[in-house]
Homo-oligomer: A and B are copies of this chain.
Amino acid sequence: MKKEPFSFDLTTPGFIPSHYDNHIQRKLSNMKGQYLNHEAYEAMLSEKDLLLYQVYELERPQIEGELLHGISIVHPGKVGNEFFMTKGHYHTVIDTAEIYYTLKGQGYMVMETPEGDCAVEELKAGSILYVPPRWAHRSVNTSSEENLVMFFAYPGNAGHDYGTIETQGFRKLVVEKDGKPEIVDNPRWALPEVG
């Protein structure tokens, strides 16, 4: 891993970094149980294990003071009427923020805290989104044809906790209704028991 300063470019039309260390690909099969309509999910999966989103990461030491960063690309599409989205996660060190700069496309960031607060912010090219410490976050692509591309950065020691969201989902879903995106309550969401 580099000790010296380094640069890379985001100048291709798809914003794929000119240099990166890790390329993570999440397919439909990696999202079992995450979409509300399980029947639609199984039917889609039996046809093809589609690529839903990709992350290009630059490697840095996973310690305080460093900034992990890269590009996330969510492809367009739906499972049932629910738009393609990332798994979504809390940070393991929960008091750590994340910042996003949307480079292309449109969608929403769905967020919530362990205390039960929730928020949904619009994503569009040229917008910066600040996800404060304690907020789980998931990005959703609401375009029917364009990728949602974002630059992200977060503290090196943050870590990822996917389990909480995998178990309970997010409080809000982003679905298509009458040809437009709509934010609705997740009927399967339940506030975790406070021990």
Contacts from A to B (Cβ < 8 Å): 2-11, 17, 58, 60, 64-67, 69, 93, 95-99, 101, 109, 111, 117, 119, 121-122, 125-133, 135, 137, 151, 153-156
Contacts and interface: CB of A to CB of B under 8 A. Distances in A.
Given A5-B131, A5-B137, 10 more contacts: A5-B121, A6-B130, A9-B128, A60-B97, A60-B132, A65-B155, A66-B133, A67-B67, A67-B97, A101-B101
A111 B137 CA distance: 34
B130 A7 contact: yes
Taken together, the copies of this chain in the complex come to 2
Given A7-B130, A9-B126, A130-B5, A69 B99 contact: yes
Given A65-B95, A121-B5, A151 B128 contact: yes
A56 to B, nearest CB: 11
